[in-house]
Amino acid sequence: MVFRKRAALAVLLLSAGAAGAAPTPEIEKRIDDLIARMTIQEKVGQMSQSTSLATPLSERIKQEIRQGRWGSFLNAGNPSDRAEAQRIARQESRLGIPLLFGRDVIHGYHTIFPIPLGQAASWNPTLVQQAARVAAREAAAEGIRWTFAPMLDIARDPRWGRIAESPGEDPFLGSLMAAALVRGFQGTSLADPASVAACAKHYAAYGAAEGGRDYNSVWMPELLLRQVYLPAFHAAAEAGAATFMTSFNTLNGVPASANHFLLREVLRNDWKYDGFVVSDYNAVIEMVPHGYATDEADAARKAANAGVDMEMVSTSFFDHLPALVEAGKVDRKLIDDAVRDILRLKFRLGLFDAAIPAPAVSRVTPESLAVAERLATESTVLLKNRGDLLPLASTIGSVAVIGPLADSPVDQMGTWVTDGRAEDVTTPLAALRQILGQQRVHYAPGLQNSRDTSRAGFSAAREAASRADVVLLFLGEEEILSGEARSRAFLNLPGAQEALADAVAAAGKPMVAIIMAGRPLTFHDLAEKANAVLYAWHPGTAGGPALAKLLFGQTAPSGRLPVTFPRSVGQVPIYYAHLSTGRPPLTSELGVPAGTPVKPSGYTSRYIDLDYTPEYRFGYGLSYTRFEYSNLRVSAPSMPASGAITVSADITNRGKHEGVETVQLYIHDVTASVAQPVRVLKGFRRIELKPNATETVTFSIGANDLAFYNERMQLVTEPGRFEVWIAPDAESGLMGTFTLR
pLDDT value at position 598?
A: 67
Residue 7 has pLDDT above 50, yes or no: no
**Which structural domain range is residue 654 located in?**
627-740
CATH of residue 717: 2.60.40.10
Band of residue 21 on the pLDDT scale cut at 50, 70, 90: low
Percent of the chain with pLDDT over 70: 96
69 occurs within a structural domain: yes
| Edge-to-edge order in the sheet of strand 638-639 | 638-639, 734-740, 720-727, 659-669, 680-689
**At residue 620, does pLDDT exceed 70?**
yes
The DSSP 8-state label assigned to residue 631 in this structure reads: E
Report the pLDDT averaged over residues 137-152.
98
Residue 599's pLDDT is what?
67
- pLDDT higher than threshold 60 for residue 13: no
User: Does residue 640 lie within any of the structural domains?
Assistant: yes
Out of 205-209, 410-414, 607-611, which region has the weakest mean confidence (pLDDT)?
607-611
**In the predicted structure, residue 1 carries a pLDDT above the cut 60:** no
Whether residue 645 is contained in a domain is answered as yes
Choose the final residue of a domain: 67, 82, 100: 100
Total domains in the fold of the chain: 2
* Distance from C-alpha of 66 to C-alpha of 403, rounded to nearest angstrom: 54
φ/ψ bin of 394: left (φ > 0), alpha (ψ from -120 to 50), beta (otherwise): alpha
Inside any domain, residue 691: yes
Q: What mean pLDDT is reported for the chain?
A: 95
In a domain, 688, yes or no: yes
Mean pLDDT throughout 8-19? Answer: 37
Q: Which of 50, 82, 100 finishes a domain?
A: 100
pLDDT digit string, tens, across residues 435-478: 999 999 999 999 999 999 999 999 999 999 999 999 999 999 99
Residue at 722 is within a domain:
yes
Whether the pLDDT of residue 2 is over 50: the answer is no
Q: What percent of the chain has pLDDT over 90?
A: 91
Domain presence at residue 419: no
Residues belonging to the active site: 280
Quick one: DSSP state of residue 676?
-
Look at residue 307 in the predicted model and tell me its pLDDT: 98
Domain-located, residue 652: yes
Report the pLDDT value the prediction gives residue 6, as an integer from 0 to 100.
Answer: 32
Q: Is the dihedral of CA 278, 282, 283, 284 positive or negative?
A: positive
Confidence of residue 594 (pLDDT cuts 50, 70, 90): low
- Mean pLDDT in residue range 628-647: 96
**Cα gap 191→26, rounded to integer Å:** 15
Q: How confident is the model at residue 603 (pLDDT cuts 50, 70, 90)?
A: confident
Q: Which of 75, 100, 125 is the last residue of a domain?
A: 100
Mean pLDDT of 580-587: 92
Q: CA end-to-end span of the chain, whole Å?
A: 9
